[in-house]
Amino acid sequence: MNRSIINQLELYEGKKLSEETLKVKTTDETIKQFFPSLWNGIKGDIQSIFPIVTKKSNKDTRQFNRIVKNLETNIHGMSHTQPNAYTLPGIGNKYHAQVSMFIPPVWLLSAIIQLSRSQLKAKVVKNKIIFNNNAKIKMLLWQSKGIIDILGSESRALNAVYLHEIGHWVNYKPVIGAAIMNIMKKLVPALAVVFIVLNIVYARAAEWQADRFAKEVGYGDDLALALTKIGYTVRKDATVLVKIGDYIRLISMKLINIVDDVLPIFSHPSMRNRVKVLQDGIVFESDLKEQLLLETTITDTLLLPIQKLLKPVDKVLGKNVDLLFPFAK
């Protein structure tokens, strides 16, 4: 193991993570060969549209469920060679997820109703994350070949990524806000620029709050390690397609690190700032610009009126959600 990687893994000894490029060996044979790697990309795109063809990762599902309680989570693999992970709440299996691909507003409404009826909360008891999940909300999570390849045997770092993704739904308002802004910019093209800006604000707030959740349940350092490896790793024995993707990601991360401090126009805060906040013990409060804006101006002027408007509908649907959306059980 080269010295740069050792420096990254010495986080727990109090050393800071650096932005040095990590040259690591891939552990996945299909990423080392050109045509299997090309097929991974094609297959991954197909799986994005048809999640029904993805397979459950029993190993990662068991590993994650050992550290959590009262939140049924199933983890499926996708073939993309670049690192990525995301989750859908209120969906029990890949068949239900496939239905939601064709009628996304129904899935979104179902998820909102479930989360509004019983917001997810978590506390740590004896190194186990226990969720207050009265609505019995389930999570379906996808991870790419790339994220497994890069994080390798770092099980805590991988769990931190899962917790970050779940954190989007523990603090779900920014996610819903971003979705509303995406819809509004299509409905009112004349104000598209305004809605794009608001969408960025919501998206950035969603990332900060998801990071905060991972940190609150004891995985802040692990998430910092995961972000560093994901952001700065170039797999030296991978195929040219994979390596080009790694370099594009590396260059993008370093450019965002420079620009973001001056002009925060990206949907994700810079990797440098996220890692710094996760490592330095900075409290995620209103001193963060995105959260200050979210919790005051935007939330008060947009979400509260919408919430009042939808309250009668929400009340009726809340009583009959199981009948209306059986796939969400």
User: What's the pLDDT tens digit per position in 59-76?
Assistant: 999 999 999 999 999 999
Predicted confidence band of residue 257 (pLDDT cuts 50, 70, 90)? very high
Of the segments 26-40, 64-78, 125-139, 258-272, which one has the largest average pLDDT value?
Answer: 64-78
Instruction: Give the C-alpha separation, 42 to 274, whole Å.
Output: 31
Give the per-residue pLDDT at 292: 52
Give the per-residue pLDDT at 307: 59
Distances (CA, A) of 144 to 6, 23, 27, 77, 111: 25, 20, 14, 6, 24
Distances (CA, A) of 155 to 84, 159, 222: 16, 6, 9
Are the C-beta atoms of 234 and 31 separated by less than 8 Å?
no
Tokens coding 59:
């190993």
pTM: 0.81
Residue 142 has φ and ψ, to the nearest 5°, of: -115, 145
Predicted confidence band of residue 232 (pLDDT cuts 50, 70, 90)? very high
**Residue 105 neighbours by CB under 8 Å, 6+ apart:** none
Tokens coding 162:
């899962």
Residue 132 has φ and ψ, to the nearest 5°, of: -90, 100
Instruction: Give the C-alpha separation, 224 to 208, whole Å.
Output: 13
List the beta strands (DSSP E) in 254-326.
none
Predicted confidence band of residue 319 (pLDDT cuts 50, 70, 90)? low
Tens of pLDDT, residue by residue over 10-30, are: 444 444 566 667 777 887 888
Are the C-beta atoms of 229 and 157 separated by less than 8 Å?
yes
Give the per-residue pLDDT at 88: 84
Tokens coding 130:
């226990």
Higher per-residue confidence, 57 vs 303: 57
**Residue 46 neighbours by CB under 8 Å, 6+ apart:** 53
Residue 308, beta-bridge partner list: none
14: left (phi over 0), alpha (psi -120 to 50) or beta: left
What average pLDDT does the segment 45-63 reach? 93
Find the distance separating the first CA and the last CA of the chain, reported in whole Å: 46
Q: Which of 30-34, 253-257, 274-278 has the lowest mean pLDDT?
A: 30-34
Tens of pLDDT, residue by residue over 164-223, are: 999 999 988 888 888 888 888 888 888 888 889 888 888 998 999 999 999 999 999 999
- Whether the predicted pLDDT of 230 surpasses 80: yes
Other Cβ atoms within 10 Å of 223 Cβ, number: 26
The pairing of beta strand 68-69 with beta strand 128-132: parallel
Instruction: Give the C-alpha separation, 288 to 211, whole Å.
Output: 13
What average pLDDT does the segment 112-140 reach? 86
Q: What is the DSSP letter of 98?
A: H
- Whether the predicted pLDDT of 6 surpasses 50: no
Q: Hey, where are the domains in the chain?
A: 3-328
